[in-house]
Amino acid sequence: MTQIWGSPLPPPIAGVASRLEHVAGLQVKGLVLGPLHPQSSGVPQDTPLEQLDPGLGSLSDLSHLLQAAKKKGIQVILDLTPNYLGGSAWFGPAVAEDPGFQDKVKRAMSLWLERGVAGFFLDGIEELKPSVLAEWRNLTEQSSPEGTPRVLVGGTRLQDPPSLLALLNSSSVGLVLGPFLEALVAKPFSPTLVPQLLDFLGPQIPLAWSVGSPWHHLVGVTPLRAQLLLLLWTLPGTPVLSYGDEVGLMDDEQGGLPGTPQPGQLTPMPWDLIEAIQKGDNSTEAQLLELCRRLGALRVQERSLSLGDAEAVPAGSAAAFLRSWDKSKRFLVVLNPRDQPLPALALQDPRLPPQATLHLSTHHLPPADPHVDLGAINLRPYEGLLLSFPYTP
């Protein structure tokens, strides 16, 4: 299982290396870094994709980061999106379809692979032909020294579910990151949320879920944010955190909109808050961070969460799904999609036992007695629960 912790406008490379302990504490296995190349203001074909912006550090700094990340089991993936500050990730169709520019991207990919990165993130893949992406994927995956797999991750700025599903059906990358959750929670949750989410798994293309996008933080510290994070860690696919998601970071009122980022408008990572939490701060942000750490640990430990199938469970006014793998412990996710309590919710399904064990709630710590009667669950507004029960033949 790979997880990605991304930062679209990175701090100096040496600073990233100094924060790897925090990243590793979230059970992150992949770190998206960059873009690192200077943003060209001239002709797109002159964009220096193979260069490292000296304002971000040196190649020696990058080498140190790669080695430090490897020791913690973290793969560093480079964001090589050419026009990362513009409305079109590829400067428009004329450039995206230009064989000369495509060769330029290939040469840059080969050079960065030689420098030791573990793969690439390319945004705006809906602007590229599947055959081009397939060629770049082959180049990336065939360059795997010491048996370490390398990956090409594609990002999309498409918003509506039909377009996203069409892209998944035609994608030629190893993993697709898109605003799947954002598209479905733009309006209030409904009990149909789970079937809609599981529809995205139909094409059998590996998915990466996020609570926002690389350019835009969602929601802030709210019950809804915690519920989204619970979904993020428990759905099949790859959970993706943009920096600060784990503490409910928000952009200010001048923050860039999805697909239209502007330099300097994203809120910096609040490292002072992280340090305060490490010293014992028990703020709402600290509780959100603890929720992420616990969910990350469970996903690593439990095969049903990392590898299992997902099935919708009828839940009346709530939303619920079941994760299961072979003879492993089953996990049940229950969500209250409303801003009103749901008292005495009855989950009656032949796949479920009468009782389950409560692992965590988005609203409070598990009680002293974690046994929950599935015939009478009490949910607070926007509360999410993660429960489990043993496999039985």
Verdict on whether the full-model pTM lies above 0.85: yes
What pLDDT is stored for residue 253 in this prediction? 52
The answer, yes or no, to whether residue 4 has pLDDT greater than 60, is no
What pLDDT is stored for residue 38 in this prediction? 87
What pLDDT is stored for residue 139 in this prediction? 94
What pLDDT band is residue 3 in, cutting at 50, 70 and 90? Answer: very low
State the Cα–Cα distance between residues 237 and 286, nearest whole angstrom: 26
Burial (CB < 10 A; 0-12, 13-18, 19+), residue 332, is buried
What are the percentages of helix, strand and coil residues in the chain, rounded to 5? 35, 20, 45
The answer, yes or no, to whether residue 257 has pLDDT greater than 50, is no
CA angle 140/13/65 to nearest 5° reads 60
pLDDT in tens, 96-111: 999 999 999 999 999 9
Residue with tokens 């028990």: 282
- In Å, what is the CA distance from 257 to each residue of 41, 143, 235, 245, 265? 21, 36, 26, 16, 10
Q: Domains in the chain, ordered, with CATH? A: 4-301 (3.20.20.80), 309-389 (2.60.40.1180)
What secondary structure letter does DSSP report for 257?
Answer: B
What pLDDT is stored for residue 284 in this prediction? 85
CA end-to-end distance (rounded Å), the chain: 27
What pLDDT is stored for residue 265 in this prediction? 56
What pLDDT is stored for residue 235 in this prediction? 94
pLDDT in tens, 100-154: 999 999 999 999 999 999 999 999 999 999 999 999 999 999 877 666 789 999 9
What pLDDT is stored for residue 41 in this prediction? 64
What pLDDT band is residue 271 in, cutting at 50, 70 and 90? Answer: confident
The answer, yes or no, to whether residue 220 has pLDDT greater than 70, is no
Q: What is the mean pLDDT of the chain?
A: 86
The answer, yes or no, to whether residue 2 has pLDDT greater than 80, is no
